[in-house]
Amino acid sequence: MPRGRPAFLLLLALAWVLPAATAATRRELEYARVGEQVLRLDLHLPATNGNPAPLIVWVHGGAWSRGSRSEHPLAPLVARGWAVASVDYRLTPVAPFPANVHDLKAAVRFLRARHAEHGLAPERIAIAGASAGAHLAALVGVTNGHRELEGEVGEHRDQSSAVQAIVSFYGASNLETILAQSTPYGLGVRIPALQLLLRGQPADQPALARLASPVAHVGLGDPPLLLLHGDQDPQMPVAQSLELLGAYEHAGLTVRFVPLHGAKHGGREFYDETRLALVREFLARAGIAPAPRS
């Protein structure tokens, strides 16, 4: 065998089993403006073989009042062939609900409108988020075409804001019940957060709290849903994920709930290889997967 041939064959074999490399990150893409405020996203693109990449829109957490698009834990999925758009949206000190949902739907419309430019598959879009970001991701996912929640943000209102799957990491789902389910510690976090989100407490703003609750919107045609939640979460009650699980099951929709036993609110265990493998499997079953490498 010619010298160097074994090493070449090893590299060739590894090419079939190792994840694809990240191709590029396109930072600070402006997807909309609201008054003087510019809304931006970072688009993390995988290396591809010329096929459009499936897209995950990532929504950061932070009690709806803080956080940024720099916080995204899905880099391992980019290496596996998914594009990830990490999106900034108006935070509640600036604008209350439903501004955040209007912004996120505008981001989906922007990405769908610009899919050819960025090598994205417009019919294979998932939305995912953590904590308050998971609440917003679920709300975007189950309210396609909702008159009050679509908003008029951005230049691509002819495009659909529909997504084809939802992944919720320890998110809220019912703002009408969340306080009754919360621990004393959780109340200390949630009461001021809801005050900013709704400009009042759910009992004082019942119609708005219901509008902001994904469980109130679940119905036929909603996309498949994956829920991951720690069963010892002191901040976001695990009952919030269970309520959304129940709403999906009642509607006969595709849903999977993955409890992390002993886990609290967030942490590396939610994004380790085991859990991200579950996410990959879920997305593939929903038809949101990279084309096989040739």
**Is there a catalytic annotation at residue 68?**
no
**131 in active site:** yes
Query: What pLDDT digit, counting tens, does each position of 138-153 carry?
Result: 999 999 999 999 999 9
Does residue 14 have a pLDDT over 70? Answer: no
Averaged pLDDT for residues 50-64: 96
**Has residue 277 been placed in a domain?**
yes
Q: For residue 18, is pLDDT > 60?
A: no
Evaluate whether residue 250 is within a structural domain: yes
Residue 15 lies in a domain: no
Encoded amino acid at 60, one letter:
H
Structural domain including 64 reads 20-285
Q: For residues 138 and 136, what is the distance between their CA atoms, to the nearest angstrom?
A: 5
Determine, yes or no, domain membership for 157: yes
What pLDDT does residue 48 have?
Answer: 77
The torsion angle over the Cα atoms of residues 278, 282, 287 and 291, rounded to 10 degrees, is 0
Q: Which of 42, 168, 233, 241 is catalytic?
A: 233
Q: Which of 86, 131, 173, 241 is catalytic?
A: 131
pLDDT digits (tens, 9 = 90+) for 227-238: 999 999 999 999
Number of domains in the chain: 1
- Please give the structure tokens belonging to residue 39: 């809304």
Residue 8 lies in a domain: no
Cα 281 to Cα 143: distance, rounded to the nearest angstrom? 24
pLDDT given at position 181: 98
CATH of the domain at 65: 3.40.50.1820
Instruction: Confirm whether 103 is domain-assigned.
Output: yes
Predicted confidence (pLDDT) at residue 2 exceeds the cutoff of 90: no
Query: In sequence order, what DSSP letters do the residues of 38-81 get, joined into one string?
Result: EEEEEEEEE--SSSPEEEEEEE--STTTS--TT----HHHHHTT
In a domain, 13, yes or no: no
In a domain, 93, yes or no: yes
pLDDT bin (cut points 50, 70, 90) of residue 10 is very low
Residue 118 a catalytic site member = no
| DSSP state for residue 222 in the 8-state scheme | P
Share of the chain above pLDDT 70, in %: 92
Check pLDDT > 70 for residue 190: yes
Q: What is the pLDDT of residues 206-245, one digit of tens each?
A: 999 999 999 999 999 999 999 999 999 999 999 999 999 9
Query: Where are any strands of DSSP class E within 47-172?
Result: 53-59, 83-87, 120-130, 165-169
Quote the pTM value. Answer: 0.92
Q: Using the predicted structure, report yes or no on whether residue 277 has a pLDDT greater than 60.
A: yes
Active-site position among 72, 102, 217, 265: 265
